A and B are shown apart, each in its own frame.
Chain A
């Protein structure tokens, strides 16, 4: 069950990153703590440039099961993705463009992921939120049901997680 969910997360991320950003992702073996709250390691694996901190974008879903889907991206990678997505040539993506892209990405991932995990269920999504932070922090503390995948995206550590309310 856990492995199936993990595969679904990887497959949805792969499809979206390839279609939207022409980026390949490589799943890592970390972040897998079945049956317990997921606490990220002090030093996220597959390290890339973390100098700008991280951006976490999250979205709540309500339906047959409720919970939270979160995506954590290094700010450096998020800014590069926003720049490419918007087709900016000379200029860098601004902070607001970067956060907007991260929110939309969480929205698209959630919309694609939930029907894969539950074909018959109908879910409503909240508006996505972003929070920049120096450190990724805990993932949905208190929840014991869910899954997180760590991914290598062009040498940067990225994490996607889904956690269900108790």
Chain B
């Protein structure tokens, strides 16, 4: 499956590295958008068909958790799978957000294989 991917992180460096990591992990991308915070991400979601979001949590203006809450208000965004990529080892966040489409949680720094395995598992779950 080729993804329409949205990467949300306030660090341009991390966005670039995540995009590269996704490519290295063998995941096929149809298109890839980038946003510097939750507000920018919501703007992109309004205009483009996104089917996977990789997002940081700690961001200015609208953080990752606030963005997920906003996404719950729109029917068409509720089912978009989301992976949290964050520096904090906070499994509470993951538990809290499981109902909001969050399918996985990666702590920075991570190896490309970890992301690849997570996405493979998500695809498998989707097929099942």
Residues on A lying within 8 angstroms of B by beta carbon are: 16, 19-20, 82, 85-87, 97, 100-101, 103-104, 107-108, 110-112, 114-115, 122-123, 125, 127
The distance from the CB of B40 to the nearest CB of chain A, in whole angstroms, is: 16
Give the total of B residues in contact with A, Cβ under 8 Å.
22
| CA–CA, A66 and B9, complex, Å | 25
- B82-109 contact mask (Cβ, 8 Å, vs A): 1 or 0: 0000111110100000000000000111
Given contacts A112-B89, A122-B92, A125-B88, contact A82 B20 (CB under 8 A): no
Given A86-B17, A115-B89, A122-B92, is A108 in contact with B12 using a C-beta cutoff of 8 Å? no
A-B residue pair count with CB separations less than 8 angstroms: 53
Contacts of B11 in A (CB 8 A): 100, 103-104, 107
Please report the C-alpha to C-alpha distance between residue A97 and residue B15 in the assembled complex, in whole angstroms.
Answer: 12
Q: How far is the CA of A86 from the CA of B10 in the complex (A)?
A: 16
Question: Which chain A residue shows the least CB distance to B12?
Answer: A100
| Nearest CB in chain A: distance from B56 CB, A | 9
- Could you say which of A86, A110, A112, A123 contacts B13, with CB atoms under 8 Å apart? A86
A110-B109 Cα distance, complex, nearest whole Å:
12
B121 is an interface residue with CB less than 8 A from chain A = no
Chain A nearest CB: distance from B84 CB in Å?
A: 12
Contact partners of A82 in chain B: CB under 8 A? 13
Chain A residue nearest to B16 in the complex (CB): A86
Evaluate contact between A111 and B89: CB separation under 8 angstroms: yes
Given known A86-B16, A97-B13, A111-B89, contact A127–B111 (CB-CB < 8 A): no
Assess the A111–B13 pair: CB atoms within 8 A: no
**B residues in contact with A110, CB < 8 Å:** 87
A-B contact pairs, 27 of them (CB 8 A): A16-B109, A19-B109, A19-B111, A20-B109, A85-B13, A85-B17, A86-B17, A87-B20, A97-B12, A100-B12, A100-B13, A101-B13, A103-B11, A104-B14, A107-B11, A107-B58, A107-B87, A111-B86, A111-B87, A111-B107, A111-B108, A112-B87, A115-B89, A122-B92, A125-B58, A125-B87, A127-B60
How far apart sit A9 and B24, CA to CA, in the bound complex (Å)?
Answer: 30
> Which of chain B's residues have a CB closer than 8 A to the CB of A111?
86-89, 107-108
